[in-house]
Amino acid sequence: MQTSEFLEIAQNHFDDALPFVLYRKPNASVIKGVFQDDDIVYTSKDLTESGFVFAPFNAEKQTVLMPFSVSETLESSFAISEVTEQNTRDKKEVQQESENVLNDAKDFHINLVTKAINGIVEGRLKKVVVSRKEEVRLTESNPMALFERLLVKYSTAFVYCWYHPKIGLWLGATPETLLSITGNRFTTMALAGTQAYQGDDNPDWKAKETEEQQLVTDYLIASLESSVSNIVVAATKTIKAGSLLHLSTKVSGVLNSDLMEVVKALHPTPAVCGLPKTIAKQFILENENYDREFYTGFLGEINSKEKTSRNTNRRNVENNAYAAIKTVSNLYVNLRCMQLTDVKASIYVGGGITKDSIAEKEWEETVNKTETMKAVL
């Protein structure tokens, strides 16, 4: 199916106020779509269903499910095409509006970071991730056009457009995998540290970022020990997401428990919450002064059936006879995202605070992160 036809189907679903999600996995050339037949809000309690889930940051709230059983699933190959440039005058107007909003938000965020640093110095926290929401007036309100721009700009990210008429419209391009499972093999990642891309794919990282990354990695390993075996920790690498760089460490192994148990152990990760997790989460809920909703939650397909083969050589018919159907789940942390209405986009950004954090620089990091999403608007 051509991309234009695929997006037209999604637009018709949107016009009919029916739930759907469009998504493309990192480094993939195929867009998938799940188009729900009704407007019921389905939920998942234990992640045993088969479908696409959208979960909030606060795990005490409901995880929304688009079940494959009541949905049509479609695929389309995607080739990068020309994306319409925004009008320069509109971009300047949006920038000016944004600067006015930033002047009001800066003091609050710096005070929030300072409070977090004090909590770490006092020993109550090791790390905490604080965030903010920034609203931007839309010059392009067509979600399909925005989704296509995300596809072009973020080829290495999980890109999605999620809509439910009773909940809202979200788009994003996240670089972080929460959990990938094929059969009983799992992969997750520790992602922390951020700096602007300056043309060097392997820049120097300061002690603050490397310490933060190690905290996240150590926590993931400790959290998984009771649920998995044969854990393998790969070397930490620098990855690029749009105009930003991050530190990433891949962790893999064999799963000895069910999906829900592992997700409970991981979510929310220290990369979006902090350590100790319970205390950091309470700090966030009490001090951020807004509801994160689905920002820093997780999303993706669960318990889908995929055909796997021992041999990638299609001409080897004998080995392909051993192809099997395996259960696959791919979940991603909802970073670099925005919520859309008809007239505005709410952009969500945050950063990890440690004892070495400097409040002014943490503010600047959130500004850099908002720019990655504003570039799409």
For the segment 20-49, the average pLDDT, to the nearest whole number, is 96
pLDDT (tens digit, 9 = 90+) per residue, 202-243? 899 988 888 888 888 998 899 898 899 999 999 999 988 777
Q: Which of 280, 274, 282, 297 is nearest to 192 (CA)?
A: 274
pLDDT attached to residue 308: 66
On the question of pLDDT at 374 being above 90, the answer is no
With a pLDDT cut of 70, the percent of the chain lying above it is 89
pLDDT (tens digit, 9 = 90+) per residue, 151-173? 998 989 999 999 999 999 999 99
How far is residue 351's CA from residue 347's CA, in Å, rounded to a whole number? 14
pTM: 0.88
- Higher per-residue confidence, 138 vs 204: 204
pLDDT attached to residue 196: 83
On the question of pLDDT at 7 being above 90, the answer is yes
Q: Which residues contact 234 (CB under 8 A, 6 or more apart)?
A: 249, 250, 251, 252
Q: Which residues contact 155 (CB under 8 A, 6 or more apart)?
A: 26, 27, 80
Domain boundary assignment for the chain: 3-84+115-374
Q: Which of 226, 297, 295 is nearest to 60 (CA)?
A: 297
How far is residue 356's CA from residue 5's CA, in Å, rounded to a whole number? 51
Residue with structure tokens 């409970």?
264
Backbone dihedral region for residue 300 (phi beyond 0: left; psi -120 to 50: alpha; all else: beta)? left
pLDDT attached to residue 309: 63
On the question of pLDDT at 83 being above 80, the answer is no
Dihedral, CA atoms, 52, 24, 308, 72, nearest 10 degrees? Answer: 50
276 preceded by a cis bond (ω within 30 of 0): yes
How far is residue 194's CA from residue 215's CA, in Å, rounded to a whole number? 15
Whether residue 238 contacts residue 247, with contact meaning beta carbons closer than 8 Å, is answered with: yes
- The gap from C-alpha 53 to its chain's centroid, in whole angstroms, comes to 13
Return the bridge partners of 239, or none. 246
pLDDT attached to residue 281: 96
Alpha carbon distances (Å) from 155 to 29, 134, 241, 329: 9, 25, 9, 21
Residue with structure tokens 């393998």?
232
pLDDT (tens digit, 9 = 90+) per residue, 278-319? 999 999 999 999 999 999 999 999 999 887 666 555 555 555
CA atoms within 13 A on the CB side of 181: 25
- Hey, which CATH number is domain 3-84+115-374, 3.40.50.720, 3.60.120.10, 3.30.365.10, 3.30.565.10? 3.60.120.10
On the question of pLDDT at 192 being above 90, the answer is no
The stretches of 2-159 forming alpha helices (DSSP H) are 3-15, 88-121, 143-153
For the segment 177-193, the average pLDDT, to the nearest whole number, is 91
On the question of pLDDT at 85 being above 80, the answer is no
pLDDT attached to residue 137: 87
Q: Which residues contact 89 (CB under 8 A, 6 or more apart)?
A: none
How far is residue 303's CA from residue 259's CA, in Å, rounded to a whole number? 9
Residue with structure tokens 């820049």?
203
Supply the DSSP symbol for 284. H
- The gap from C-alpha 150 to its chain's centroid, in whole angstroms, comes to 13
Parallel/antiparallel/unpaired status of strands 228-233 and 177-182: unpaired
For the segment 121-128, the average pLDDT, to the nearest whole number, is 94
CA atoms within 13 A on the CB side of 5: 6
Which has the minimum average pLDDT: 51-55, 92-96, 109-113?
92-96
Output the six-digit token pair for 233. Answer: 């920790």
Return the bridge partners of 175, or none. none
